[in-house]
Structure 1
Amino acid sequence: MSRVHWLFGDQLGPHFTATSAGGTPRNTRWLLIESRAVFRRHRFHRAKAHLVLSAMRHRAAELGESATYVAAQTYRQGLAEAVGDAPVSVHHPTSRAALALVASLPQVTVHPPRGFLVGHREFAEWAARQKGHRLLQENLYEHTRRAHGILMEGDRPAGGRWNLDHDNREPPPRGRATLGAPPPYRPREDEIDEEVRRDLDRWEREDGVAFVGNDGPRLFPASRREALAALDHFAAHRLRGFGAHEDAMLAADPVMSHSLLSSSLNLGLLDPRECVQRAEDAWRAGQVPLSSAEGFIRQVCGWREYVWNLYWYLGDDYRHRNDLGHTAPIPAWFAELDADAVGARCLSTVLAQVRDTGWTHHIPRLMVLGSHALQRGWDPAQVTDWFHRCFVDGYDWVMLPNVVGMSQYADGGLMTTKPYTSGGAYIHRMSDLCTGCRYRPADRTGDRACPYTVGYWSFLHRHRARLEGNARMTQAVRGLDRLADLPQVVARHHDAGEAPP
C-alpha cells in the first residue's frame, strides 16, 4: 500500500523526497496542490506567481506517474479531492499560516523541516546560552560553521577570522557603468512556462485575480536541473568577483556579481549544504578569494539560518511589533511599482528593477527601498507585506524578520543594534545612482534637496529621545545640534507628504 506525502510549493528539491538515509522511499505518492485562493488573498508580483507555479509544475513533471497534481480553490479542497480523508505526511511548512493549516487536519502527520542547517531545538538551545539573551547573527554563524565544519581549518576559521565583511564593502569602480562580471545564468522557458502564463492571463481576465509588476521572460530557475546549472555557473564564473563589491550599486548593472540563487534556495530547489560546499570547494581549489567565498557562505549559513530561526523563535506576535509607532500607509505609487512617477534616480531605478524582474539585491532593498519607508514612517506590517508579495524570493519567514527587524527597526533593536537608514551621502558613495539625479545628496534645503538626506535628519529629529541613548547613534543624533536649518529640513519632509520624491 502506497503512502501519500504532500509537497508544498517551496519544497521542490530532492532533499524533500528522500529518506533520512538519502534514498527515495518506495511506494510513496507525491501530492502537489495549487491553491487559487493564495493568489486571490495577496496581490503578488506576476513574475513571482509565474515562477512558483512553473516550479511546481516542473516538479510534478519530473516525478511523473508517482505525482498527483491538483489545481483547486483551496488547499483543503485540493487535499479532499486528491486523497479524501486518507492519511498524508508533510514536512514542516515554512510559514505559520501553513503550519496552522496542516496542524488543523487530523489526517496529516508533520515531519521536521528540511532545507535548513539549524533545527528549531538546536537554535533554542543556542539562544539559551547567549549572554544577556542577545541573539547576534555573528554568534549563530560561528556556531553553524563549527557544527557543520564549514570553511574551517581544524578548530579555527579559515584565514583566522570568522567574518571578512570589512573586505566586502568597497564602492563600485568609478567611471564604469558595470562591474564587468560574466553575465548570470538565465534559464530558457518551455511549454510549461507557456501554460502557466496562459493560466495567469485567464485568472486576470475571468477570475478577478490581480498582480503587480511585469512578467517574462522567466529569469530564475524553476527546476532542479536549472538550479544546479545556476549554482555551477555562479561558482565557476561569478563568485570570484562577488565579495569586494557586494554592497555596491550600479544603475546599469543590477545583478553585478550576486548569485541570484535566493529564489532557488527558497523554493527548495537547492539545499544550503550544497551551496556552501560549492563555494568552499572553489576557494580550496584556488579559484576564488577567501573574502568572496566567506561573504557568500555568510549569507547562506549565517544570515539565512538566522532569519529562518528567528521567525519561529520570536513568536507570531513579532509581526505586530511597531516600536517606532509608524502608521502611515504605503502610497499608491510605491504599491504599484510606479517607477516613472519618481524623480529621485536611486529610488526610481530600484523600483523599476523590482517592477521588471521581481528582484534587486540586498543593499537596494535595505538602503533604498527600506530606508525610504523607514524615513517616511510607513506602517511596518504593510512594508513587510509589500516585500513579501513583490520579490520572487519573498516568503513570510524571509521578510518578517528582515523587514520588521532589520529594515524598519520596528522591534526596537531586538534584531539589530541601530536603524539602517542614511542620507544621500551613503548612496552617493556606494553607487552611481546620484549621477544625473535632479537632487544633490549633500543638499538639505532648496529645490535640489535630496529626499534621503532630508528624510534622514527628519527621522533622527522625530525619534531623538529614543535614539540618543543608543551608543551607535549618539554621534549621528548630536549632529542635529549643528544643523541651523533643521526646522526647514523637518518642514520640507513634512510638506512632501506621500508624493513620490
Structure 2
Amino acid sequence: MSTAHWLFGDQLGPHFLTPGADGPDPDATVVIIEARSVLRRRRFHRAKAHLVLSAMRHRAAELGDRVRYIRCETYREGLLRAVGDGPLTVHHPTSHAALRFVRSLGTVTVLPARGYLTPLADFRAWADGHGGGHLRQEDFYRWVRRGHDLLMDGDTPAGGRWNHDHDNREPPPRGTRSLGAPAPYRPREDHIDEEVRHDLDRWEHEGLVSFVGRDGPRRFPASRREALAALRRFIGYRLAGFGPHEDAMLSHDPVMSHSLLSSSLNLGLLHPAECVERAEDAWRSGHAPVNSVEGFVRQIAGWREYVWQLYWYFGDDYRHADALRHRAPLPDWFLDLDADAVTARCLATTLAQVRDTGWTHHIPRLMLLGSYGLQRGWDPRALTDWFHRCFVDGYDWVMLPNVVGMSQYADGGRMTTKPYTSGGAYINRMSDFCGACAYRPADRVGERACPYTAGYWAFLHRHRSRLEHNQRMAQAVRGLDRLGDLDEVLRQDRERGHAPP
C-alpha cells in the first residue's frame, strides 16, 4: 500500500507530484484539505480567499479519483478523515507555523522543498560563507545566475552587464494615461468559481468568516492551464516592454507591462525555472531586449528566490525585529482599505487598487504603502500581517522579509543597506499622481504639504542618530540642518497622527 501525499494549497503544480528520490510515491493518493480555520484566523482579502479556494478545487478536479479532497474546520480534523493514523508525506511547507505543525505529526514525513531554484542547504552554505550577517541580494543573484547558467555567455553575463537597472528606472512618459502595453491574460470564471463565491457568501452571511476588499471577477490564474496561458501571454506580448518602466506608476494603468505571475508562482502553479528560461529564450531569439529580460529574471531568480531563502535562514525570530522601535498600531482606515477616506491621490489610488483587486506592483507596495507606514512609525509585525492578508500573492514567507527587512528596515540593515522611503519629489518623478493631487510634492508645511515630504523629514529627524552613520543616508540626514521650518514640519507631523492623509 502506497503512502498518501498531502498537497498544501500553495503546492498545486505538477512538480509537487513528480516522483523521485525526494518526491512522493508515484501511486500515492493525494490529500488536499480545505480547512476553514485558516480563513477564521485572519481577515483576508475576499479576492484572495476566492483565488486560493478556486485553485485548490481546480487542482482536485484535475486529479479526479486520485485525490481525497476534505472540507473541514481544521487541518488536524482533515488529516484524521483522510488517512487516519496512516503514513503521509508532504513537501516542506512554506511557513514556520506549517512546518512546526507537520513535524508535530508523528506519521508525516517531510520531503525537501520544491518550487524554488536553490535548495535551502545550498543557500545556507553560501550565506555562512559570506558571514551570514549582512547578506546582499546582488551577490546572491550573481551566484544563482552562474550556478544555473542563466542569462550567461560563458563566464560573463549576457549583454555585458549583471545589472540593467540603469535602463529600467525610467519615469512614465509625461502626458500619457497608459503605457499602451498589450492587455494581460485574464481567466474566465467557471462553475468552480461560482461554487466558491456561493460558499464565501454563505460563510460570511452566517458570521463564520469576515473579509476585507472586494471580490470581483477573478483576475489571476487558478489552474496550471491558466497559469501557462498567462506566462505565454507575458513572454510573447508584454515582456519586451517590461524593463524601462518597471519602477514607474500610472494612476489609470496599474498593471502596465508587469507579468502578474506572482500569485501563480506562489500557488505553485508555475515553477520559477520555466519562467526565467522562457524569458531568456525570448532574448536569445530576438523577441525581447536584454534589459527587460534581465529585469524580469532579477525579480524571480534574484529577489523572489532571495526572499524565500532569507525567510528560512533568518528563522522565525526575524518577525520580532524592531530596530527602529516602531510600535504604532495600523489605523482603521488602512486596515479597512478605506481609500475614499484618503486625500493624498497616490495613496488613495493604491489603496483602492488593493481594495478592488488584492494587487499592486512592487513600487506602490514599497514606496507608497510601505513608505507611509515607515514614516508614521507603524508596527512592522502588524504591517507584515496586513500585506499577508490583503494581497493575492501574500504568504508569510513572502511578506516577512519584504516588509520587516526591505520595507520597514526593522532589522536595522541585515537585508538592505538603507531605509526605502522618500518625499513627494520621488513620487512626482516616477508617477502621474501629483498633478491632480490636493497636496504639492515640494511643500513640507501648510495646507498643501505633501504627507510624504513632511513624513520623510520627520522620519529622518526621529532616527537621526542611527541614520547619520549610514553611508547611503548621511547626506540626506545633513539636509535636516538646512530646514528652517523643521519645527513646524515636526509639529504638523505629530498633529496628523493616525488621520488619513
The total of aligned residue pairs comes to 501
Shift of 1:219: 0.1
- Structure 1 vs Structure 2: percent identity of aligned residues? 71
Shift of 1:134: 2.8
Q: What's 1:30 paired with?
A: 30
Q: Secondary structure at the match of 1:386?
A: helix
Q: What's 1:283 paired with?
A: 283
Matches within 5 A, 1:80-479: 80-130=80-130, 133-479=133-479
How far apart are the structure 2 equivalents of 1:372 and 1:23?
A: 44
Shift of 1:20: 3.2
- Counterpart of 1:122, as a letter, is D
Q: Secondary structure at the match of 2:444?
A: coil
How far apart are the structure 1 equivalents of 2:121 and 2:88?
A: 24
- Counterpart of 1:272, as a letter, is P
Q: What's 2:486 paired with?
A: 486
How far apart are the structure 1 equivalents of 2:207 and 2:458?
A: 44
Q: Could you tell me whether the CA contact under 8 Å between 2:5 and 2:24 is conserved in 1? A: no
How far apart are the structure 1 equivalents of 2:347 and 2:23?
A: 48
CA offset digits 1:374-414 (Å, max 9, x no partner) = 00000000000000000000000000000000000000011
How far apart are the structure 1 equivalents of 2:19 and 2:479?
A: 59
Q: What's 2:62 paired with?
A: 62
- Counterpart of 2:94, as a letter, is T
How far apart are the structure 1 equivalents of 2:250 and 2:435?
A: 11
Matches within 5 A, 1:37-52: 37-52=37-52
Shift of 1:206: 1.3
- Counterpart of 1:422, as a letter, is S
- Counterpart of 1:317, as a letter, is D
CA offset digits 1:104-137 (Å, max 9, x no partner) = 0001000000000111110111012216843110
Structure 1 residues 7 and 132 mapped into 2: Cα distance closer, same or farther (>3 Å)?
Answer: closer
Q: What's 2:72 paired with?
A: 72
- TM-score w.r.t. structure 1 length? 0.99
Q: What's 2:496 paired with?
A: 496
Shift of 1:169: 0.3
Unmatched segments (≥5 aa) in structure 1: none
CA offset digits 1:423-459 (Å, max 9, x no partner) = 0000000000112100000001111000000000000
- Counterpart of 2:33, as a letter, is I
Q: Secondary structure at the match of 2:196?
A: helix
How far apart are the structure 2 equivalents of 1:428 and 1:178?
A: 16
How far apart are the structure 1 equivalents of 2:223 and 2:153?
A: 35
Between 299-308 and 160-169, report the one with greater CA deviation: 160-169
Structure 1 residues 41 and 349 mapped into 2: Cα distance closer, same or farther (>3 Å)?
Answer: same
Q: Could you tell me whether the CA contact under 8 Å between 2:57 and 2:192 is conserved in 1? A: yes
Between 187-196 and 150-159, report the one with greater CA deviation: 150-159
CA offset digits 1:138-177 (Å, max 9, x no partner) = 1111111111111110111101211111110000011100
Q: Could you tell me whether the CA contact under 8 Å between 2:22 and 2:112 is conserved in 1? A: no
Structure 1 residues 67 and 385 mapped into 2: Cα distance closer, same or farther (>3 Å)?
Answer: same
What value does the CA root-mean-square deviation take over the aligned residues? 1.2
Structure 1 residues 132 and 117 mapped into 2: Cα distance closer, same or farther (>3 Å)?
Answer: closer
- Counterpart of 1:400, as a letter, is L
How far apart are the structure 2 equivalents of 1:169 and 1:341?
A: 31
Shift of 1:21: 8.1
Question: Structure 1 segments of 4 or more deviating over 3 A?
Answer: 20-26
Shift of 1:23: 10
- Counterpart of 1:259, as a letter, is S
